Structure 1
């Protein structure tokens, strides 16, 4: 047992600080990616619910293509093709210096969020459609402005229906954050576990520790999501 604690020492003798940093990196990537995915989701849902046909077509194409392909493939295409293509275009237009390069961290974040945003789009669209249309019509009939209708009638009820799906997507993103390790030297939790196991040959211990930390993230997240659901469902059966 003492030898295992020695493996988790801080500093050059152990992997404790690397695992702490890997856990923080996983949480940072997950939270930022989730926030950006929510933005993509709202934009996609607005497009799919739009009265303009071309917006509906763009949103449908986005969700259909992204959900049809393996997530890793989409992320690799966005990271290595779209990002590099955008860099070359900006340089060609003279908008940036020749040495300009997108931040690998933010490129990975946007790629992961773009994929998750397609699923978020469907969650938010379904939540919007679950709001009784009669309540929206009643708000219009009493002269409420569109912004107030959205903030006081639609959004509160939307979130009540959306939280379960949004919670599931959060749990997915915490695990999908491990994908960014293939894009570069991102020392997130799974990559740290791999390095520690390969460097010490203690595969069961370090992969088991990695699994426990992911499980801990999930348990805390499930408890938080459950409390949010109970709060939003007060007064409803």
Structure 2
């Protein structure tokens, strides 16, 4: 039996915070990714260039550096706006940072998935008189998910692990709670091993869920042998 020396509740609370950050960033990041993909495929040049600049910049900057810039930059901006020192909430800064990072990569996944939808399906929808919003909702998006799920699944697994980076701005997540426990007990191997086991369990459960989602998305689709 592993002796947690009274830090069990703290580590559990940190694990919950980690899952909250990851799940919130996932939902918001998917929305950002869809908007970015549609902007890249838009007929308007300004939208295409804006989306291209967004994905190029975000994918070219390390996640840790981005978190620090947004956290401290946000504090400076809020202080300037309100005329007094205002510290950005670590949870909000972490979620925002991971959202825009996830969204940048998801943009490319969704763009490729949308392009994979057979053109004939879209032309058939137009021939039936469906409006553009209805074509997206009834034809493109349902089929797009089947192509996007593997890529989005990989991004989700990366996102789960990237939450550990937010501990540098003071968020009481799994990594920070584990670090405090390791420092207080002078037993880093035990507590960091526990953290590794928890992250591994999160990703393992996620893999099972992703496999089930992919099977559901591929119902009725004949796989070439």
- Per the shorter chain, which TM-score range? over 0.9
Give the superposition deviation at 1:71.
1.4
The CA distance in 2 between the partners of 1:70 and 1:78, in whole Å, is 12
**Aligned residue in 2 for 1:91:** 82
For the 8 Å contact 2:75–2:86, the answer to whether it is kept is no
User: Aligned with 2:172: secondary structure?
Assistant: coil
Asked if 1:207 is matched to 2:192, the reply is yes
Asked if 1:77 is matched to 2:62, the reply is no
Asked if 1:47 is matched to 2:72, the reply is no
Give the superposition deviation at 1:222.
0.1
Asked if 1:139 is matched to 2:125, the reply is yes
The CA distance in 2 between the partners of 1:233 and 1:31, in whole Å, is 24
Give the superposition deviation at 1:107.
2.3
State the Cα RMSD in Å.
Answer: 1.6
For the 8 Å contact 1:75–1:115, the answer to whether it is kept is no
The CA distance in 2 between the partners of 1:129 and 1:120, in whole Å, is 14
**Aligned residue in 2 for 1:11:** none
Give the superposition deviation at 1:104.
3.1
Asked if 1:169 is matched to 2:155, the reply is yes
**Aligned residue in 2 for 1:24:** 16
**Aligned residue in 2 for 1:148:** 134
Give the superposition deviation at 1:152.
1.3
**Aligned residue in 2 for 1:95:** none
The CA distance in 2 between the partners of 1:193 and 1:116, in whole Å, is 25
The CA distance in 2 between the partners of 1:100 and 1:214, in whole Å, is 33
Give the superposition deviation at 1:68.
1.2
Length-normalised TM-score, structure 1: 0.88
- Of 183, 191, 195, 2:180 maps to 195
Gaps of 5+ in 2: none
Gaps of 5+ in 1: 9-13, 93-97
- Of 209, 219, 222, 1:234 maps to 219
CA shift in 2, pair 1:85/1:48, >3 Å: farther
Q: How many residues align?
A: 222
CA shift in 2, pair 1:234/1:143, >3 Å: same
Q: How does 1:207-226 map to 2 (within 5 A)?
A: 207-226=192-211
